[in-house]
């Protein structure tokens, strides 16, 4: 045992290596002890992801010629987060051409079939209300 200790003393880089190894193990253990940061930008549940998606879709749909004021409601499957239904209400939707453009744009933007999208004309008295 004493011979082993003498041989280890003669090794020049061994204390530094042992110190680095101990520091590495300490940092590894410490990383499991510290609380984890929340990685999600938006709070879970209550459709926060769909709210952002709804706002973005409204911005795109309102840029279509003749649409006017537009509101969107997106229904997502709670288990997998996929879009299962879209409701679009716009002032210009009484025009069949505008209604078709809204339908096609929503289908394309959300990658959903036509059956998942409903487009309705907005009442004239609700245009300014938000």
Structural domain includes residue 41: no
pLDDT < 70 regions, the chain:
1, 4-17, 19, 26, 28, 31-32, 34-50, 125-130
Q: What is the CA radius of gyration of the chain?
A: 30
Q: What is the pTM assigned to this prediction?
A: 0.59
Same-domain status, 119 and 60: yes
Note the pLDDT of residue 69: 94
Q: What 3-state DSSP class applies to 85?
A: strand
Note the pLDDT of residue 22: 75
CA atoms within 13 A on the CB side of 107: 13
Question: Which alpha helices (H) appear in 1-130, and where do they start and end?
Answer: 2-10, 14-33, 48-62, 96-110
Note the pLDDT of residue 62: 92
Provide the domain count of the chain. Answer: 2
Q: Do residues 80 and 62 make contact, with C-beta atoms less than 8 angstroms apart?
A: no
Structural domain includes residue 75: yes
| Residue numbers of the domain that contains 83 | 48-124
Same-domain status, 73 and 106: yes
Structural domain includes residue 42: no
Q: Do residues 8 and 14 make contact, with C-beta atoms less than 8 angstroms apart?
A: yes
């Amino acid at each position: 045992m004493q011979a082993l200790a003498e041989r280890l003393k003669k090794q020049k880089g061994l204390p530094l290596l042992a110190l680095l190894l101990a520091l590495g193990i300490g940092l590894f253990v410490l990383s499991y002890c510290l609380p984890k940061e929340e990685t999600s930008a938006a709070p879970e549940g209550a459709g926060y992801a769909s709210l952002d998606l709804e706002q973005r879709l409204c911005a795109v749909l309102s840029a279509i010629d003749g649409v006017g004021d537009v509101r969107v409601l997106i229904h997502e499957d709670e288990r997998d987060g996929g879009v299962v239904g879209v409701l679009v209400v716009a002032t210009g939707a009484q025009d069949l051409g505008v209604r078709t453009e809204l339908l096609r744009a929503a289908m394309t933007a959300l990658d959903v079939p036509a059956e998942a999208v409903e487009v309705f004309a907005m009442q004239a008295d609700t245009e300014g209300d938000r």
